[in-house]
């Protein structure tokens, strides 16, 4: 990379909220980059190693809901590189047990990322974006040697942040995704977000009553997870599947 190109990128990144520690929680930067300096962050973002033409791999992800403990809520899924992010969205929905009621996005960080992956039209927001119906996992992650982490944000009101991490890349072409492990029950839709869900589990009382009248907040098993049921749902999703909310 030419020095001028690097300087241009550094100037761009210094003006980008994604790298402004005053506008981000430190945990976001630490989670994404560790203690890397800005020039090292650039290399992480812009030196992704692409797959060879025709090469197919399978990414082994661990996806964990941020802010949920006792128990934590996470899933492990294996997804082929030819799957689009639209299909990956459906895989996450199925793996966790969401109902796809709300908007969502993928981004390097939950807020302030310069490049975000949405299903939307350019007229929706005047911001850089990528179309999740077209972008494949392989196009973003490549060999998985550089970009290894991503966020999936579901419901921009409750803000369910899913931290996505590549644990392993298998040099193998597959036709479908699988869910291999998981822990913890999916929070109830529209319960108010992570803090509300934690309070609900701890006290048996819903602090932000925004659920259906027939929902009993005391009737919750926070440890519930049926791997067989989830695995069937995940395996049924095809590489280019997409379902609008």
160-188 average pLDDT score: 95
Q: Are 116 and 131 in contact (CB under 8 A)?
A: no
Give the model's pLDDT for residue 102.
92
Instruction: Determine the topology of domain 58-185+227-235 in CATH.
Output: 3.10.290
Give the model's pLDDT for residue 208.
45
% of the chain exceeding 70 in pLDDT: 64
Q: Are 164 and 66 in contact (CB under 8 A)?
A: no
Give the model's pLDDT for residue 140.
85
Give the model's pLDDT for residue 9.
45
Assign 135 a pLDDT band (cuts: 50, 70, 90).
confident
Query: What gap in Å lies between CA 84 and CA 241, rounded to an integer?
Result: 8
Q: Cα–chain-centroid distance for residue 102?
A: 15
Per DSSP (E only), the strands in the chain are 58-65, 74-80, 104-107, 116-118, 129-131, 149-154, 160-170, 178-183
pLDDT digits (tens, 9 = 90+) for 66-83: 999 999 999 999 999 999
Domain ranges of the chain: 3-46, 58-185+227-235
Res. 5: pLDDT tops 90: no
pLDDT digits (tens, 9 = 90+) for 211-224: 555 556 566 789 99
Give the model's pLDDT for residue 240.
85
71 cis-preceded (ω within 30 degrees of 0)? yes
Q: At what angle do helices 3-14 and 38-46 cross, to 10 degrees?
A: 110
> The whole model's pTM is what?
0.75
Tell me what the pLDDT averaged over the chain comes to.
77
Give the DSSP H or E segment for 233. Answer: helix 227-235
Determine which of 8-22, 118-132, 135-149 has the lowest per-residue pLDDT on average: 8-22
Assign 12 a pLDDT band (cuts: 50, 70, 90).
very low
Give the model's pLDDT for residue 18.
41
Strands 178-183 and 104-107: unpaired
Give the model's pLDDT for residue 233.
97
CA atoms within 13 A on the CB side of 65: 31
Res. 204: pLDDT tops 90: no
């Amino acid at each position: 990379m030419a020095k001028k190109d690097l300087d241009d990128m550094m100037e761009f990144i210094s003006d980008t909220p994604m790298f402004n520690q005053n506008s981000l929680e430190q945990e976001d930067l630490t989670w994404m980059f560790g203690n890397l300096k800005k020039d090292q962050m650039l290399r992480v973002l812009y030196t992704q190693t692409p797959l060879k033409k025709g090469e197919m791999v399978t990414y082994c992800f661990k996806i964990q809901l941020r802010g949920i403990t006792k128990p934590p809520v996470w899933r492990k899924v294996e997804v082929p590189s030819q799957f689009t992010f639209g299909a990956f969205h459906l895989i996450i929905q199925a793996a966790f047990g969401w109902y796809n009621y709300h908007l969502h996005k993928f981004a390097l960080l939950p807020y302030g990322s310069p490049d975000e992956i949405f299903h939307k039209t350019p007229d929706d927001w005047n911001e850089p974006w990528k179309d999740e119906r077209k972008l494949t996992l392989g196009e973003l992650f490549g060999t998985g040697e550089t970009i290894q982490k991503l966020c999936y944000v579901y419901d921009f009101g409750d803000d369910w942040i899913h931290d996505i991490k590549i644990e392993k890349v298998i040099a193998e072409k597959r036709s479908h995704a699988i869910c291999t492990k998981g822990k913890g029950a999916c929070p109830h839709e529209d319960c108010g977000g992570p803090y509300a869900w934690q309070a609900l589990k701890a006290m048996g009382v819903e602090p932000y009553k925004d659920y259906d009248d027939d929902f009993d907040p005391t009737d919750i098993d926070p440890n519930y997870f049926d791997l067989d049921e989830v695995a069937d749902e995940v395996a049924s999703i095809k590489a280019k599947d997409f379902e609008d909310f």
